[in-house]
Amino acid sequence: MSSEEKKSFLLLKSMIFHYHGLDEDEVQILERTAKELGAIEELKWANDFIAEDYSTAFDRARAYLNEHLEHLEKSEKLSYLDQVWQANYQKGYITEMEATAMLKLAKDWDVEAELISKVRS
């Protein structure tokens, strides 16, 4: 995974976790993911991106991700969304807002049906 892909993946994960307010479990999951990927700086960048303007963070991140992940295969985009979905289960729940945000991105990336199928199974 390139540095740009790490930024994008961590922005996706952090944005979804920030959607309702970041809690301690989510901070730990993000930090663990960044360490596993060797992407501490990329996580800092993602969190700074969100902190720039929290009220527009989702729309800005959505535009950023649509631009920077357009070269990826659908299967990779689906994998990113599925990993974030699964990370929500690590904390024990997924909010309706988080699910809706991921479904919006899945629709942007033309993987909505595939994501729904994955999470149902």
**CATH code at position 101:** 1.10.3680
pLDDT of residue 116: 92
**Per-residue confidence band for 56, with pLDDT thresholds at 50, 70 and 90:** very high
How many domains does one find in the chain?
1
pLDDT one-digit tens code per residue, 75-92: 999 999 999 999 988 888
Residue 47 has pLDDT above 90, yes or no: yes
pTM of the model: 0.91
Structure tokens at 9: 């993946």
**Per-residue confidence band for 45, with pLDDT thresholds at 50, 70 and 90:** very high
pLDDT of residue 18: 87
Which residue segment(s) compose the domain that 40 sits in?
3-120
Rounded Cα–Cα distance for residues 88 and 26 (Å)? 8
Rounded Cα–Cα distance for residues 88 and 2 (Å)? 24
Given a contact cutoff of 8 angstroms between Cβ atoms, the answer to whether 28 and 13 are in contact is no
Q: For 69, list phi and psi in degrees, rounded to 5.
A: -110, 5
Read off the pLDDT of each residue in 17-36 and give the average, rounded to a whole number: 90
pLDDT one-digit tens code per residue, 91-108: 888 888 889 999 999 999
**Per-residue confidence band for 117, with pLDDT thresholds at 50, 70 and 90:** very high
